[in-house]
A and B are shown apart, each in its own frame.
Chain A
Amino acid sequence: MIERVYNFGINNELSGILTTAEPEHQKRHAPSLLFLNAGFLHKTGFNRFNTDLARQLSVYGYSSLRFDLHGLGDSASCPPSIDYEKQAVIDIQQAIDEVTEKCGTQKCIIIGLCSGADFAHATAMIDSRISGLVLMDGFAYRTLGYYIRDYGPGIINPYRSIRFVVNRIRKRFFSAPSEKNARRSNEVYFRSFPPKKQVIKQLQELIDREVKLFFIYSGGIPLYYNYADQFFDMFRSVKFKGMVFHRYFKEADHTYTIVSVRQKLKSAVSEWINYTFP
């Protein structure tokens, strides 16, 4: 494995690390990989996931760039004149320029968790160099199956029903404002998603462009996602054409805190990349 640390982009404002296999092991025709930040975390990723996976994939011959978007990690602050989401897409496109040029590849796979998945999706919509996406805890929409699993146990079990009603009354009338704020501040993964219809249309566009998609959901986002097949229920109208894979790690939290569970995630992503882009 060879790792090179450097700054790139306009005025060298972006901080990145290029990981490549030893020349004799490099897969010449495989796409290169790009790792994105998750939320406010820097380029090493949640619990060092990006660093570990980049090195693991280099063993299989894949080259990758992990980098910090403007305003995160060791990259420069975000220019105040530009909307943050727009800047993120510009940064990702600069990173694609960089990784494809340095690795001599034409195509690129983007790997992102949470906001990283959102930015990966947004960039794929406008950049034809992206041939694959690994989207972890990306867009999610509640379905009938979700509500049944969320409320069902309470409806069936009378004790839980009573406890649910009592808790609702207590929260509504007896919680101090500071407690309510504290609860809200604990909901760190509360996100708003674009309209489902728009996402369905965009997914179909990506699939029709033959972009390979790997959707991974964790058990750490129970506000949006709570069963394995929810993905297929959410996007029932999309014609997958064999381009879409999906995994649900119920045992994982949002940042895959448990080491062995994170190892399963790394294996799943490695296997998908090896299988899809041999």
Chain B
Amino acid sequence: MKSLQFGYGDHKLYGVYHFPLSTNSKQKSILICSSVGPEFINTYRLLRNLGEQLAKSGHHVFRFDWYGCGDSWGESTDISISHWITDLRWAAEELINLSGNQVFSVIGLKLGAAIAWCSLKDWANLSSFILWDPIIIGSEWMNQMQALHSKYLAKSPESRRFSSDEEILGFPLPVSVRNEICSLDISSLPPPLSQKIHLLYSGDSKEYEAFCKSVNFPITMEHLDIPEVWISSLLSNHIVMSHPAINSIVGYFNRE
């Protein structure tokens, strides 16, 4: 595992390359796209462990922090989905350089899946795309996060006096980004030019079934038999861990 910096000029990003730790005849190059804000922090360890397990199975793996998030450059307020769409393309180029493979796969978690969907629509060398509890309609996710933030404030009367409208669960959320996220609906966009798309979900299947029907591409679905951990972890500040989810994804790439 090697930490590195990539990008251009004042738009430098932090990344971690997990080099293959075994030989695998079905070796893949896999790009992991995290979510943002509190979900980014709470799932960091989960995605690091996922990268580590995929590397142990012989795959090249690359993780990175979005601009304005984590250890990448940029203020926490200086964020936008259009920046992140560019970030993902740079991260893909970095993975191609590191692994030497032109073809790669993508795992996108929550909002990371939605950004990847937007970013990869014209990328021809995508082998497979895993959507993990993806955000299909941005406004619904935003409402969910806002409800959680309100719940947090209700529990923390001392903090409530200092909270502004442009923040959510510990992170600034400028109006422009809120609007960008709220206007996001990936079911209205064409699917990426991926050979395979696989959707992992841990909650209710109805929304995802409707999404898969609406997309003009055969998407395979897999239910993760784990509690839907995202929401509870955000309020309790617990980090998210899920061995079944990691095993499921590693199994998918080893079978592919």
- Which A residues contact B (CB, under 8 angstroms)? 3-7, 12, 15-17, 40-44, 46-48, 51-52, 66, 72-74, 76, 186, 188, 219, 250-262
Contact = CB atoms under 8 A, between A and B. Distances in A.
Interface string B4-31: 1100000010101000000000000000
Contacts of B158: 219, 250-252
A5 B71 contact: yes
A82 to B, nearest CB: 19
Interface string B34-46: 0000100100110
B71 A44 contact: yes
B253 interface: no
A12 B19 CA distance: 14
Interface stretch (B167-175, B184-192, B201-209): B167-175
Interface in B34-75: 38, 41, 44-45, 48, 65, 69-71, 73
B71 A259 contact: no
B161 to A, nearest CB: 7
B223 interface: no
A256 B163 CA distance: 11
B156 A260 contact: no
A121 to B, nearest CB: 23
A260 B160 CA distance: 11
Nearest to A189: B237
B239 to A, nearest CB: 5
Contacts of B161: 251
Contacts, number: 98
6 contacts: A42-B70, A44-B71, A74-B48, A256-B170, A258-B162, A259-B172
B53 to A, nearest CB: 12
Most chain B beta-carbon contacts within 10 A, residue among A6, A51, A262: A51
A17 B237 CA distance: 24
B159 A4 contact: no
Contacts of B5: 3-5
A5 B14 contact: yes
B243 to A, nearest CB: 15
Given A5-B71, A7-B3, A257 B16 contact: no
Given A5-B4, A42-B44, A76-B1, A261 B237 contact: no
B45 A257 contact: no
Contacts of B236: 186, 188
Interface centre among A4, A5, A43 (most CB of B within 10 A): A5
Contacts of A48: 41, 69-70, 76, 171
B163 A258 contact: yes
- Residue with the greatest number of chain A CB neighbours at <10 A, chosen from B1, B71, B167: B71
Q: Chain B contact residues (Cβ within 8 angstroms of A): what range?
A: 35 or more
A195 to B, nearest CB: 28
Nearest to B161: A251
A72 B48 CA distance: 9
B63 to A, nearest CB: 8
Contact of A260 (B45, B162, B239): B162
B2 A257 contact: no
A48 B12 CA distance: 17
Contacts of B76: 48, 52
B152 interface: yes
Contacts of A76: 1
Q: Which of B70, B158, B169 has the most CB of A within 10 A?
A: B158
Contacts of A15: 1, 3, 16
B238 interface: yes
Interface string B65-107: 1000111010010000000000000000000000000000000
A261 B71 contact: no
Contacts of A47: 38, 41, 170-171
B159 A41 contact: no
A42 B45 contact: yes
A3 B73 contact: yes
A87 to B, nearest CB: 17
B14 A257 contact: no
Contacts of A73: 44-45, 48
B214 interface: no
Contacts of A258: 159, 162-163, 167, 170
Nearest to A52: B76
A267 B237 CA distance: 24
Contact of B159 (A42, A46, A252): A252
Nearest to B235: A186
A66 B2 CA distance: 16
B70 A257 contact: no
Given A48-B41, A73-B48, 4 more contacts: A12-B2, A44-B71, A76-B1, A257-B169
Given A47-B41, A48-B76, A3 B70 contact: no
